[in-house]
Amino acid sequence: MHALALPAPQGGEDKSIKLPSLFDDGVLGGITNKFYQRVPRVKYTVKEWEPDFYPAACISESQSNNKCRVSDMKVYDVTYEDCPQPWTMCRCNSAVVSAKRLFEFFARVPVKARAEIRHMFSWPDQPGLAAYAFGPDIGLTNSLQSGDRKQDMNVIIHETGHVLDQGASDSPEMLDAISKDSCVLRPYSQVSRGENLGNVMVMTYFKMIDRDGYKKVHNEKGMSCMQNQLDFMEKRYAERMTPGGTCPPRLHKNSEKKHVPGGVLTKKDLELLRRDLPEGTWTRHEDHGMYPQHDHANHF
């Protein structure tokens, strides 16, 4: 175990967690490799949108940090066999995560958690950025070219944790749990309460899929130093992180379908950027190269 000294974020409350880390970053992929083989594979069908039509959220995100030209995006409705309503996903033609991998990754997110996620994106390299969650949407970028699909699943479950957080990471119950515990899962958990929740979510999912495997790791690695956090997460998320069943009603409507002839944005289109988020206070969680090394400098 070792503790990292992390700078307090500029302005606002210090949400870093000053507990030692149980694992080194990068170890988690190795631990959870086996359990991802047990994740049920949900089948799906895909329908590509007609040209020049895009969900508003895809347009907004494509323009944020110049991730992709609108005309370079393809849009897909992906219908999984456990839910009659499709999820709309956007991929930039030059993205490192192929459309098929994007669909297959999302298929492994349990359906009740999937129902809280609105759109999935696959973007080309963003300097240092692995993946992010913004509002109810998840974007995948360059870490997913690692080729280690099991490790990449950790990233997707971590991002799912951000979408499902909804204040849980800052709740009195979670703060109480942290205060009673003597470790966090990994150094990346020390960065903020939100990152901590995303990381513990991976272990919550592990337990829901493979109780025996989880128990073994828990005993061998001494995870009782974070037992209160694990218990809090299980109580709050066990149902949503259990695979199987069918989808509950979708938490968010798709963002509006926009017609953008030739992919050329008008002044009016540009004025409407970022009006697509549902009501609520949304934080952008950017995960910079979560495995194995990462840069916290731009993290917020």
- Which range touches Zn ion (CB under 5 A), out of 59-67, 205-213, 267-275, 282-290? 282-290
Question: DSSP code of 141?
Answer: -
Q: How many CB atoms lie within 10 A of CB 41?
A: 9
- Which range touches Zn ion (CB under 5 A), out of 32-40, 105-113, 147-155, 278-286? 278-286
Question: Which residues, listed in sequence order, are joined to residue 44 by a DSSP beta bridge?
Answer: 80
**Any contact of residue 252 with Zn ion (CB under 5 A)?**
no
- Which range touches Zn ion (CB under 5 A), out of 45-53, 83-91, 234-242, 279-287? 279-287
Minimal distance in Å, beta carbon 192 to Zn ion? 8
Q: Which two tokens stand for residue 52?
A: 């020049």
Mask for 141-180, x = binds Zn ion (CB under 5 A): ----------------------------------------
**Any contact of residue 137 with Zn ion (CB under 5 A)?**
no
Identity of the residue, 157 or 177, whose beta carbon is nearer to Zn ion in the bound complex:
157
| Interface with Zn ion: number of residues (CB under 5 A) | 4
Identity of the residue, 252 or 285, whose beta carbon is nearer to Zn ion in the bound complex:
285
Nearest to 221 by CA among 203, 239, 196: 203
Minimal distance in Å, beta carbon 162 to Zn ion? 6
Identity of the residue, 166 or 254, whose beta carbon is nearer to Zn ion in the bound complex:
166
Identity of the residue, 88 or 169, whose beta carbon is nearer to Zn ion in the bound complex:
169
CB 275, CB 143: distance < 8 Å: no
- Long-range contacts for 27-32 (Cβ within 8 Å, ≥24 apart)? 27/186, 28/154, 28/185, 28/186, 28/199, 28/202, 29/148, 29/150, 29/151, 29/154, 29/291, 31/217, 31/221, 32/150, 32/153, 32/154, 32/202, 32/206
CB 130, CB 155: distance < 8 Å: yes
Minimal distance in Å, beta carbon 63 to Zn ion? 22
Over 179-197, what HEC string results?
Answer: HHCCCECCHHHHCCHHHHH
- List binders of Zn ion among 187-226 (CB under 5 A): 195, 198
**Any contact of residue 287 with Zn ion (CB under 5 A)?**
yes
Identity of the residue, 53 or 300, whose beta carbon is nearer to Zn ion in the bound complex:
300
- List binders of Zn ion among 77-136 (CB under 5 A): none
Number of residue whose CB is nearest Zn ion:
287
- Which range touches Zn ion (CB under 5 A), out of 18-26, 27-35, 76-84, 281-289? 281-289
DSSP for 76-137, written as a single string: EEEEETT-SSPEEEEEETT-SS-HHHHHHHHHTS-HHHHTT--EEEE----TTEEEEEETTE
Minimal distance in Å, beta carbon 18 to Zn ion? 19
Q: Which two tokens stand for residue 74?
A: 């393809």
Identity of the residue, 240 or 285, whose beta carbon is nearer to Zn ion in the bound complex:
285
Altogether, the residues listed in the chain come to a count of 300
Residues of this chain that bind Zn ion (CB under 5 A):
195, 198, 285, 287
